[in-house]
């Protein structure tokens, strides 16, 4: 077993990355209160070539030292926009042809493993506040809810962990 070197990994430089074709996926952060979570989600978005992140409401936005600490430069590679309210973000995405999916424990919901995006479908995935989840305002605008099945005593995951799981599954199905 040999760990790969930085050269062997074939990583793109930021300028080249910005010019690459992204997957047609937008992340919407609906009042995510931890700047560390925001930074981690930026890093995940970079790893999976997510098209854009919408930062809404109280969600921290660059430049912010706590975002930078966990993003490790991804704020320079991932496109992002700020919206004072999640509704404005979702209306913009809907008018641009995105289907809107909240990641939330709700009825009805689609278990993540059962969710398969249609070929060419543009998807916006809404992640909610660490305590309150996705806002009712957002839930009233989405096309459906995606739920990650859980089997332990806790019935929630950290929002940054959730974004990684969801990104992996959606991008895996798009490739």
Q: Over the chain (175 residues), what is each successive 10-residue block's mean pLDDT?
A: 91 92 98 98 98 98 97 96 98 98 97 96 98 98 98 94 98 96
C-alpha of 120 from chain center? 18
Q: Is residue 112 part of a domain?
A: yes
Predicted local distance difference test score (pLDDT) of residue 128: 98
Pick from 90, 151, 86: which is nearest to 124 by CA? 90
Q: Is residue 89 part of a domain?
A: yes
Q: Is residue 169 part of a domain?
A: yes
175, 117 in Cβ contact below 8 A? no
Q: Is residue 15 part of a domain?
A: no
Domain span at residue 48?
21-174
Number of Cβ within 10 Å of residue 6's Cβ equals 7
Predicted local distance difference test score (pLDDT) of residue 6: 81
Q: Is residue 25 part of a domain?
A: yes
Q: Is residue 130 part of a domain?
A: yes
Question: Is pTM, for the whole model, over 0.75?
Answer: yes
Q: Is residue 7 part of a domain?
A: no
The tokens of 65 are what?
């030292």
Predicted local distance difference test score (pLDDT) of residue 95: 98
Burial (Cβ within 10 Å: 0-12, 13-18, ≥19) of residue 43? buried
Print burial letters for 110-128: b (CB count within 10 Å at least 16), e (below 16). eebeebebeeeebbbbbbb
The tokens of 91 are what?
């209306």
Tally the domains of the chain: 1
């Amino acid at each position: 077993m040999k760990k790969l070197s930085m050269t062997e990994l074939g990583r793109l430089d930021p300028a080249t990355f910005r010019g690459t074709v992204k997957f047609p996926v937008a992340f919407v952060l609906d009042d995510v209160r931890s700047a560390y979570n925001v930074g981690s989600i930026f890093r995940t978005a970079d790893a999976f070539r997510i098209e854009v992140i919408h930062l809404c409401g109280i969600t921290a936005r660059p430049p912010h030292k706590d975002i930078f600490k966990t993003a490790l430069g991804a704020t320079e590679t991932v496109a992002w926009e700020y919206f004072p309210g999640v509704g404005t973000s979702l209306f913009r995405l809907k008018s641009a042809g995105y289907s809107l999916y909240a990641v939330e424990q709700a009825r009805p919901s689609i278990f993540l493993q059962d969710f398969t995006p249609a070929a060419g479908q543009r998807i916006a995935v809404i992640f909610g506040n660490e305590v309150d989840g996705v806002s009712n305002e957002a839930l009233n605008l989405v096309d459906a809810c995606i739920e990650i099945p859980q089997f332990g005593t806790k019935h929630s995951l950290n929002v940054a962990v959730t974004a990684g799981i969801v990104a992996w599954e959606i991008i895996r199905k798009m490739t």
